[in-house]
């Protein structure tokens, strides 16, 4: 049994992680740290777990009781925790869900945890930087093209995300009264996930020009991401479909479908639902994920399974709610 500990355990990603690990046959949560909720039952922050766990939040994490530590703190806080609490004191595995270690310049020994691109590196690692949610959806839309050396022009991406992607702490743009019936663009061309996207595409194809034009959109729903990405493509429609289907043939969590997908196919699951088509000289890839599962906590558990030699899909047989 893998003993897991969670840092910053009161937020959305930690709540999703607790739900997944609660049903994982090969893992158990031994502590859930939250300074703001210390001493309170976990179910008080995550009400859907009432009656399912007796765990209480702790203020100080007993790190050496865990085989793996998931860091679910806000961006910019993970490095401090690793340096102050783990370096030289903890020999177990670490999976960080923030953006602190994702870029090579900041990695400090962390391996970038996108299994569909770097599975063997993940298996041999002890510290994993879990990818961002938008970054996951965008990269899965583009990996086959990058691997085939086809990204020779600018890539244009639009993505729309649910409000849970902004975290549990309320703000004007996550408030129901503002978000409902509303849409807005934010951080056009400058989103923080662009760096890791370009980094991966360049690793797969060093000749990639590095230009990804990304327009993120706040959606008026809670969960899910839809990404559309298009780029110049010399292949026929049949060849393009064969390229994507072949690349993802053995991937347990990417499903290439022959129709325009909708987000309900992915929400609640660790799956990416992907469709690719040809329009004139352009390839269009549509990528759907759940921002809290494949975009965060589900992918973190997928990485944990790889680290510990378990079946990659263990604990992640999650089904979408279609209706």
Residues 52-82 as b/e (b if ≥16 CB within 10 A, e otherwise) read ebebbbbeebebeebbbbbbbbeeeebbebb
The first and second tokens of residue 254, run together, are: 């990417």
CB-based contacts of 284, cutoff 8 Å, min separation 6: 228, 229, 230, 276, 277, 278
Cα–Cα dist 263/225, whole Å: 7
Residue 133 annotated to the active site: yes
- Cβ 158 vs Cβ 286: under 8 Å: no
For residue 72, give the nearest of 50, 87, 57 by alpha carbon. Answer: 57
For residue 183, give the nearest of 213, 221, 157, 223 by alpha carbon. Answer: 221
Q: In what order do the strands lie in the sheet with 127-129?
A: 57-58, 27-33, 2-7, 68-71, 93-96, 127-129, 111-112
- The label of the residue with tokens 């979408």 reads 320
Cα–Cα dist 216/237, whole Å: 27
Residues 235-267 as b/e (b if ≥16 CB within 10 A, e otherwise) read eeeeebbebbeebbeebbbbbbeeeebebebbb
Cα–Cα dist 69/94, whole Å: 5
Annotated catalytic residue: which of 58, 72, 133, 272? 133
Q: Any bridge partners for residue 277, and if so which? A: 284
Q: Any bridge partners for residue 95, and if so which? A: 70, 128
CB atoms within 10 A of CB 195: 18
Q: Just list the catalytic residues.
A: 133
């Amino acid at each position: 049994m893998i003993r897991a500990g969670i840092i910053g355990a009161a937020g959305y990603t930690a709540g999703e992680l607790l739900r997944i690990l609660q049903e994982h046959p090969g893992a158990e949560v031994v502590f859930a740290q939250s300074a703001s909720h210390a001493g309170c039952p976990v179910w008080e922050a995550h009400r859907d777990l009432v009656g399912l766990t007796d765990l209480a939040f702790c203020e100080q994490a007993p790190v050496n009781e865990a085989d793996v530590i998931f860091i679910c703190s806000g961006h910019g806080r993970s490095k401090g925790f690793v340096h102050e609490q783990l370096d030289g004191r903890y020999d177990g595995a670490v999976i960080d869900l923030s953006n602190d270690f994702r870029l090579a310049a900041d990695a400090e020994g962390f391996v970038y945890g996108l299994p569909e691109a770097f599975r063997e590196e993940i298996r041999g690692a002890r510290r994993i930087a879990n990818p961002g949610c938008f970054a996951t959806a965008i990269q899965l839309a583009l990996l086959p093209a990058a691997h085939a050396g086809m990204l020779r022009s600018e890539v244009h991406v639009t993505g729309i995300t649910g409000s849970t992607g902004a975290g549990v702490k309320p703000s004007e743009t996550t408030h129901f009264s503002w978000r409902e019936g509303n849409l807005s663009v934010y951080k056009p061309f400058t989103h923080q996930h662009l760096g890791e996207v370009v980094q991966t595409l360049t690793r797969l194809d060093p000749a990639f020009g590095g230009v990804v034009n990304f327009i993120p959109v706040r959606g008026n729903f809670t969960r899910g991401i839809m990404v559309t990405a298009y780029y110049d493509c010399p292949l026929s429609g049949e060849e393009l479909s064969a390229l994507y289907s072949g690349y993802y043939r053995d991937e347990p969590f990417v499903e290439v479908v022959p129709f325009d997908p909708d987000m309900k196919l992915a929400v609640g699951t660790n799956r990416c639902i992907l469709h690719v088509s040809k329009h004139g000289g352009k390839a269009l890839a549509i990528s759907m994920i759940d921002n809290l599962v494949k975009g965060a906590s589900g992918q973190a558990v997928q990485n944990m399974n790889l680290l510990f030699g378990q079946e990659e899909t263990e604990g992640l047989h999650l089904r979408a709610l279609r209706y």
